[in-house]
Amino acid sequence: MKWNCLGFLFIDFLIPFVVSAEIRASMLSLGIVVSFGMIGHVIGSPIAGYLADRVSKRKLVLAGACGRGIAYVVMYLAIALQLMLGPGDALAGLMASELILGFTVSFFWVPINAIIADKSAKQYRSLAFGKRQYYKGIGLVIGTVIGIAIFAASNILIPDTFPLKSFFPQASLLVFGLANVLAGISFYRHVDDGLVHESKLVDERSRSLAMARTSHHERVMLKRASVSVSFAVGFSFLMIAVFATMLNEAMTKPFLRVYVLENIEPDPNLAIIGFVPGTLLSLFLAPKLGELADRINPLKGIAVICTLGGLVTLLLINVAELWLFIPVHTADATLALSTGLIIDNLLSRVSKVHRGKLFGMKMLAANLGEMSAPIIGGLMYDAVSAQAPFVFSIFVEWSLIGLYAIVLFLIKRQLAESFDRH
């Protein structure tokens, strides 16, 4: 996990910086570049979800890791050659790299999430997903140190007149790409995706015996009866809630980097540091947050997190100093991560035998939200004000409380693994 996640934080800063400060394109252009990654996700997620229940999950992880490595190389070339390509071609190159990245990363996250769910007991599911985030955090520490060191050293030590300077600040992308490929190979060699928690084995045996004792007609009727109307409606609302959750997060993510550069800290070498503590601390707290999420009522947890999240976003756009921005951003990142843990926990309980499909559908809904949000946010940033995407995000976040209340009311009693501790 950690070697596949080296570049996340650095790239989240690098793309907005390159588009706004170097290519000098509009915020709508930035939104379109980011949305291409989500278009790739939308295309790849259902395919990955379908395959995750039919072929070796570790093969899919390997394919996703190698695909991400290729995407990083394309991204590196698009940024390094921007002076030769011109703004339009540079943007097209970034769009292509984001499309490849979005498509191939689906083949990494969908099987990874399904494997984690298969290998964990329901009482500790959020903890398991929290540990996933913890090791992601370790990778981000390593990758961010590499990325900032190369970026800052290149900007400070290499004069602007040096003809090949554009090849150095983002050279860490090549390191990230190689790390992904090597990590994918290591995962394929060492992880046994057939080793699952005993609860899934018991459930599969019971299901097989039950199906063996029924006629073909009875099996067809059993499958039809197994999904009630309320469950189908509830699951549809769950996908809508996931869409809205990611719409909320992606509405501000790329523009927050630009907002900080324009309103808080103009030096990119310092501005990127403002995002490091919050992102890393939230990920290192993930196992503890997962333990907490396993113990609390999911609806109460969502209600508290979304209420606080809206208030924190309001604070985020009203601070004027970088040292004040850092703790507020830390709170925002921690709340967002907690929401994700609760959602993954809930989704993993819907079915024990179709988790690949379910995580694929969840990623599809999430990516539709992430695809729409940057374009909407970019239009708001350009046409209304720099704060408009953040204000819209606040209202979306508060609306999630009602959406998740409807979801849990409709499906809670029909989950394959109940929340029997709440």
DSSP letter for each residue of 76-105: HHHHHTHHHH-HHHHHHHHHHHHHHHHHHH
**Phi, psi of 158, rounded to the nearest 5 degrees:** -95, 120
Find the length of the chain.
422
Decide: residue 145, CB within 10 A, 0-12 exposed, 13-18 middle, 19+ buried: middle
| Helix, strand and coil in the chain, % to nearest 5 | 85, 0, 15
Model confidence, pTM? 0.73
- The per-residue pLDDT for 96 is 94
- The per-residue pLDDT for 119 is 86
- The per-residue pLDDT for 276 is 84
Supply 71's token pair. 């995407």
17, HSE (Cβ side, Cα atoms, 13 Å): 20
Q: Which domain holds residue 384?
A: 2-414
- The per-residue pLDDT for 228 is 64
Contact 272, 148 (CB under 8 A): yes
- Give SS3 for 200: helix
Contact 274, 330 (CB under 8 A): no
- The per-residue pLDDT for 205 is 53
- The per-residue pLDDT for 222 is 45
CATH assignment at residue 54: 1.20.1250.20
162: left (phi over 0), alpha (psi -120 to 50) or beta: beta
- The per-residue pLDDT for 68 is 93
Residue 142, in any domain of the structure: yes
- Give SS3 for 195: coil
* DSSP string of 115-144, one letter each residue: HHHHTS-GGGHHHHHHHHHHHHHHHHHHHH
Number of Cβ within a 10 Å radius of residue 286: 27
Number of Cβ within a 10 Å radius of residue 159: 6
Q: Which letter, b or e, does each residue of 161-183 get, where b requires 16 or more Cβ atoms within 10 Å of its Cβ? A: eeeeebbbbbebbbbbbebbbeb
Residue 422, in any domain of the structure: no
**Residue 82: partners with Cβ closer than 8 Å, 6 or more residues away:** 18, 22, 23, 90, 93, 166
- The per-residue pLDDT for 395 is 92
Q: Which letter, b or e, does each residue of 219-254 get, where b requires 16 or more Cβ atoms within 10 Å of its Cβ? A: eeeeeeeeeeeebeebbebbbebbbbbbbbbbbbbb
Residue 165, in any domain of the structure: yes
Residue 52, in any domain of the structure: yes
- Give SS3 for 317: coil
- The per-residue pLDDT for 418 is 67
Domain count of the chain? 1
- The per-residue pLDDT for 185 is 95
Contact 284, 134 (CB under 8 A): yes
Contact 180, 65 (CB under 8 A): yes
- The per-residue pLDDT for 363 is 74
Closest CA to 209 of 221, 220, 201: 201
Residue 420, in any domain of the structure: no
**Mean pLDDT for back-to-back runs of 10 residues, the chain (422 residues):** 89 90 88 89 82 85 94 93 78 93 89 85 81 87 91 89 86 95 94 76 53 52 55 81 85 86 87 84 82 80 89 90 90 86 76 68 80 89 91 91 85 68 47
- Give SS3 for 386: coil
Residue 255, in any domain of the structure: yes
Residue 419, in any domain of the structure: no
- The per-residue pLDDT for 9 is 85
